Chain A
């Protein structure tokens, strides 16, 4: 549970036991359809956890934007 929270950047309220169980089932389902384990876990987490990556997450474009500004010293 704690590992899931860190791995997917969840808030303290997540995951509940029920969510963790659903995550495991959904991940297995995706792997069965041919998705590799890591992306399958990630995709299942996006679907199930409301606070997915809210603690650390920053959209790709935002990071790129910030790095571009840094180049110009802004």
Chain B
């Protein structure tokens, strides 16, 4: 008799409680369709905002590159003007590469979804890592040496760390090895 009433109690109270708890857990760990849409929309917005910021940094960088290029073509030797163009370029380049590195960190953390990352940024990041960044350091060193200007920065494992790690995670083994060679980093276990 007692067993039957226990069973009834379990049926009347236990099942609703279990259903409630289960529903609660499902609700907690599995996002609804609307939540998934909101997350995607939020990630797409972050990606688009970063693209706008990157393009802004790019415009400033190319403007500074053109200014120094013009200055180099002129014959007269105005050191102040040269120094100013040189530091403008260093500053604009730092901003641009910092933005690129920040985008790489967003992609690595999953704060930008892969679709937006591929559409908005990924190819540009790869080309920057392979071409623009190593060439920038070569050129800036040559200009600094030519005009006796200070240049202590060098391309090493701390430069654009997130960009390098993103390349390590996404390029194939040979591609990453080539990249390290281009950056002048010997292949060894890097963090």
Contact = CB atoms under 8 A, between A and B. Distances in A.
Q: Do A and B come together as binding partners?
A: yes
A68 B61 CA distance: 11
Interface of B is mostly: helix
Contacts of A72: 72, 139, 142-143
B124 A60 contact: yes
B62 A30 contact: no
Contact of B52 (A36, A59, A60): A36
Contact of B128 (A61, A70, A71): A61
Interface string A50-74: 0000000001111111011111110
A43 interface: yes
Interface residues of B, number: 32
A35 B44 contact: yes
Contacts, number: 84
Contact of B41 (A33, A42, A63, A65): A33
B44 A65 contact: no
Contacts of A46: 119-120
Interface string B62-88: 100110110011000000000000000
B20 interface: no
B48 A40 contact: yes
Contacts of B123: 59
B120 A68 contact: no
Interface stretch (B130-138, B148-156, B179-187): B130-138
Contacts of B11: none
Nearest to A40: B48
Given A33-B44, A35-B44, A71-B143, A65 B69 contact: no
17 contacts: A33-B44, A42-B51, A43-B119, A43-B120, A60-B128, A61-B127, A64-B61, A64-B65, A64-B135, A65-B131, A67-B66, A67-B69, A68-B135, A69-B135, A71-B69, A72-B72, A73-B73
Interface of A: 30, 33-36, 38-40, 42-43, 46-47, 59-65, 67-73
Given A34-B45, A71-B139, 5 more contacts: A39-B51, A43-B48, A60-B127, A64-B136, A65-B131
